[in-house]
Amino acid sequence: MKNNKTAFYLITVYVIMQLSGALFAPLLFRFINGQEGMVEQQAKLLASGWWIFISMSVAALVSFAIIRKDKSFLNNLKGKKSSIPVSIGWGILGFFMVLIGQAIAAMIENALGIKPGSDNTATFVKIAAAAPVAILSIAIFAPILEELIFRRVIFGSLVQKSNFFIAGSVSAIVFAVIHFDFTHILLYAVSGFIFAFLYYKTKRIWTSIISHMLLNGFVVLVQLNRDNIERYQKYLETLSNSQ
């Protein structure tokens, strides 16, 4: 019963965080846009970036406080937990598993005629470029909050009453849908399913959080340096052709 209350509180915090932007981001925009020399589009990105950071950091702190009062909440999966070093190792390995899984999903999407490139990712990269503080939210706070909700609450509850495949599939689909990027829903679902496997394998939510953090950080890093990477690739091609 106590676990159910904790789960309800965490979901409530997550939903409030998601909806808060509609109210507070415009207010922050008005304040920033009023600064001398501020361009409107830049002000919108700054307001979004700062509110993402504020809302997610607060939500993460509140979530930690809620979990702290329910010490059994993170011990819901049956079986012995993996040691901390092993769990960290699986977290790092899981990052590469997700990259491989997404590569396969991308090939399937390509075969179906779906163009590469996520509008959702592109939007967050623009925000991160304008307000670097948002990178902390994307790479740290978002993985923590999403793993607590989609892996611990949804998957962790369903797996008690069904099996890994059903619980993993449902949590992965919900995880994909909540990103509102339906064109690339397969990419998100594959990632969510692998995160569920990592949690189930080690019985530690921090394993999937580590993989999720590495993935988000990697994606942001690559996207922010996309132009430099493309120039370097062309440089290597030039060197190769001159030999």
Q: What is the pLDDT of residues 220-243, one digit of tens each?
A: 998 888 777 767 666 566 756 665
Range ranked top by mean pLDDT from 26-40, 85-99, 176-190: 85-99
Please, what is the Cα angle at 155 between 153 and 156, to 5 degrees? 60
From the DSSP assignment, how many helices (H) and strands (E) are in the chain?
11, 0
Q: Are 135 and 53 in contact (CB under 8 A)?
A: no
| SS3 category, 69 | coil
What is the structure's pLDDT at 36?
A: 62
Q: Domain boundaries in the chain?
A: 2-72+82-242
CA dihedral 179, 132, 51, 62 (to 10 degrees): 80
Q: What is the pLDDT of residues 176-203, one digit of tens each?
A: 999 888 888 999 999 999 999 999 999 9
Burial class (CB in 10 A: 0-12, 13-18, 19+), 89: middle
pLDDT greater than 90 at residue 49: yes
| SS3 category, 231 | helix
What is the structure's pLDDT at 225?
A: 83
Q: What is the pLDDT of residues 127-145, one digit of tens each?
A: 988 899 999 999 999 999 9
pLDDT greater than 90 at residue 7: yes
Q: Which positions ≥6 away from 3 have C-beta within 8 Å?
A: 70, 72, 73, 76
CA dihedral 121, 126, 131, 132 (to 10 degrees): 60
pTM of the model: 0.90
What is the structure's pLDDT at 181?
A: 83
Burial class (CB in 10 A: 0-12, 13-18, 19+), 177: middle
The average pLDDT across 45-55 equals: 93
What is the structure's pLDDT at 99?
A: 96
Residue showing tokens 């990712």: 121
What is the structure's pLDDT at 241?
A: 64
Half-sphere exposure (CA, 13 Å, Cβ side) for 67? 20
Return the structure tokens found at 204: 């530690």
pLDDT greater than 80 at residue 84: yes
pLDDT band at 118 (very low <50, low <70, confident <90, very high): confident
What is the structure's pLDDT at 236?
A: 60
pLDDT greater than 70 at residue 1: no
The residue among 231 and 27 whose pLDDT is bigger is: 27
The residues annotated with a catalytic role in the active site are 146, 179
What is the structure's pLDDT at 235?
A: 58
Largest CA distance in the chain: 70
What is the structure's pLDDT at 129?
A: 87
Share in percent of the chain as helix, strand, coil (round to 5): 85, 0, 15
Q: Which positions ≥6 away from 157 have C-beta within 8 Å?
A: 7
Containing H/E element for 23? Answer: helix 2-33
